[in-house]
Each structure stands twice: as C-alpha cells, then as structure tokens.
Amino acid sequence: MRLAFKSVATIMSLLAVVSASALPQDTPDPEPTPVRYYCNGPLSLKCPDGYRCCGPIVVGKGGICYKGPSGVCPL
C-alpha cells in the first residue's frame, strides 16, 4: 500500500510539473515593413498616384515618395 501511495504521489507531482511548465505560444507575426517608393534618381522613377517626390535624398536611388499630392517634405 505504501508503494502504491508513493507511485501515485510521484505521478501527480510529475503531472503538476508538466502542466505548470511554459508551453510554446503562437507568436504574432512582426509588423510588415512599410513599402518605400523611390522617385527620380538614376532610373527616373515616378511616384504612384497620391504620392509626392521629396528629394533626391538617397544617393543612387533618388528621392522618397510620401503620401499626399502636396505638402511639406519631411527632413
């Protein structure tokens, strides 16, 4: 009887440890990197409709397109 009690106690302890251990959780997907459009530069690219060209800022790529048909370009 004593052996059966020890066996049950051991099994219960193991189950408690296993159930309390951290289970892997689904990690959320990282935020997508925003799309950056370039304009002018060596390829004479144009901004999509609804964007304006600010720059040229990046050497070899040209300016960066920002949302909005007009406005102050960010520094």
Q: For tokens 């689904």, what's the residue?
A: 26
pLDDT on residue 11: 75
Rounded Cα distance between 58 and 19, Å, is: 54
pLDDT on residue 72: 80
Return phi, psi of residue 16, to 5°: -65, -40
pLDDT on residue 2: 65
Give the predicted TM-score (pTM) of the model.
Answer: 0.49
pLDDT tens track of the chain, all 75 residues?
Answer: 565 656 766 776 666 665 655 556 677 777 777 788 888 888 888 999 999 988 767 788 888 888 888 878 877
